[in-house]
Amino acid sequence: MAEDSDPFDSAFLARLEYLRIVSRRLVAGTGAGRRRGRRTGPGLEFAEHRQYVPGDDFRHIDWAAFGRLERLLLRLCRQEEDLGIDFLLDASASMATGETPKFDHARRLTAALAYVGLANLDRVRVFAVGAGLRTHLEAGRDRANVLGVLDFLRGLSAEGKTDLARSVQGYLAHALRPGLAVVVTDLMDPGGYARPLALLAGRGHEPWCLHVTDPADLAPPGTGDVAVADAETGETLGIHLTAEVRERLRAEAERFAAEARAWCLGRGIGYAEAPTRTPADAMVLDVLRRGGLVR
């Protein structure tokens, strides 16, 4: 599929209503537009501990737990409040690559999850990020607003460099109240993913990382002497591609994904790998069944 083609074909649109129906069953029993947020602070119901990361408020460290375990743990508490869902969609040039362009897949994931959120009366916003915050849409709460979300996503293009930390800093200027922050990205950022996700968690948000992957990221096509170009910088690298090199690249990609997953889950941050070969609606149902994204 070409990058400038419509990522929201009739088959995709037909699945949105099915996702809405299934999501309502999965989140049955919760009040519309109300989310059990995990926050730090006094006077709230204790929920769980999370490892302290730089940027967290040190006043909420559980010093009793530190005395027992010699680990810095943060007390997370539950509070019933009206929180929103913000999507930070990576629109950098690396997202345009892939057998199926990762950006098309990412836009479909964002559209489907936004629709589920709107149908459940969550406040939804969509932010396009790259080297920084580019633009955003205030989608509101009603599922009728999904058409505005689709038009917004259609108008985006994948271009420029990736700087997730700078993007998150720009986003935080618009995020005056904590909520669920879903980062949809291929994680191909020279600066890494740890700092931006830790920034979100440190400001009281509930970060989720949807890691978009594609088989073409593992190795270029063909064998022998090939030139590999960086989609964002234009730099080229000449390599001699063999079956052994291809296997090493595959193993490294798997290691990177496993490392990202372990890092996120170890800090209470949601993580799901989103391969382009898995249809967006199937991926969304899998995420919803795990719980936490819409409730």
Q: Please report whether residue 60 resides in a domain.
A: no
**What CATH number is attached to the domain comprising 185?**
3.40.50.410
Within a domain: residue 224? no
- Predicted pLDDT of residue 44: 55
Model confidence pLDDT, tens digit, residues 230-253: 777 777 777 788 888 888 888 899
Count structural domains, the chain: 1
Please give the Cα distance from 108 to 119 (Å, whole number). Answer: 16
Domain that holds residue 264: 10-34+82-218+257-290
Closest C-alpha among 102, 78, 95, 263 to residue 188: 95
- Side-chain half-sphere CA neighbours of 36 within 13 A: 13
| 40, part of any domain | no
pLDDT one-digit tens code per residue, 30-84: 444 444 455 555 545 666 777 887 767 777 788 888 888 888 888 776 555 556 8
**Would you state the structure tokens that stand for residue 236, as one six-digit string?**
């080229």
